[in-house]
Amino acid sequence: MNITYQTNPKLENAAVNELFSSAWGKPYDFDFQPELEAAFCYIAAFDGSKLVGFVKLVGDAGVHAFLLDPSVDAAYKRRGIGRELVARAVQFARDHGCEWVHVDFEDHLEPFYAACGFRPTKAGLIQL
C-alpha cells in the first residue's frame, strides 16, 4: 500500500461520493464542488488514483478552523490514514495562522479524536 496525500487536489463528485458511500455505509449522491471551493483546505488520500480518504477544514478567516468530514474508505480503515489526514489538516491550520482547530463528534469517535490530540471541551450546539 502506497498512500499519498494531496492538499486541495481537483476532485470529481463521483470519486468523493464513492468514498463517502464506502466510509459511511450509505449511498451518497451529492455535489461537493461548492463545499470544496468554500473550504479553507481539504486533504485527500490516494492509493494510486483511487480516492481512499478525505478531510476538510473550514475557517473564520482568523484564528479558528473547524475539522469536518474525516472519511476513510471502509477497505482502508485502521491503517492510520484517518489520523494522518487529521494531522495534515491541523498542520495546515497551524501554518496558516490558526490558533484553534475545533471538531464535533459522536461519543463512539472520542478514542479516535483523542489519538489525534483533541481534548474534550464544553461546547454548545443547536440542532436545526
Query: pLDDT tens digits for 17-60?
Result: 999 999 999 999 999 999 999 999 999 999 999 999 999 999 99
pLDDT score, position 125? 77
Classify residue 19: in a domain, yes or no: yes
Classify residue 125: in a domain, yes or no: no
- Beta-carbon contacts of 115 under 8 Å, excluding residues fewer than 6 positions away, are 83
Classify residue 108: in a domain, yes or no: yes
pTM for this prediction: 0.93
pLDDT 10s digits, 54-74:
999 999 988 999 999 999 999
Place of cell 481534548: 119
Q: Is 28 helix (H, G, I), strand (E, B) or coil?
A: coil
pLDDT 10s digits, 61-120:
889 999 999 999 999 999 999 999 999 999 999 999 999 999 999 899 999 999 999 998
C-alpha torsion 99→94→86→12, nearest 10: 110
Q: Structural domain of residue 98, as residue ranges? A: 3-115
Domain count for the chain, please give it.
1
Classify residue 17: in a domain, yes or no: yes
Classify residue 74: in a domain, yes or no: yes
Query: Any idea what the CATH number is for the domain that residue 73 is in?
Result: 3.40.630.30
State phi, psi for 64 to the nearest 5 degrees: -110, 135
pLDDT score, position 3? 97
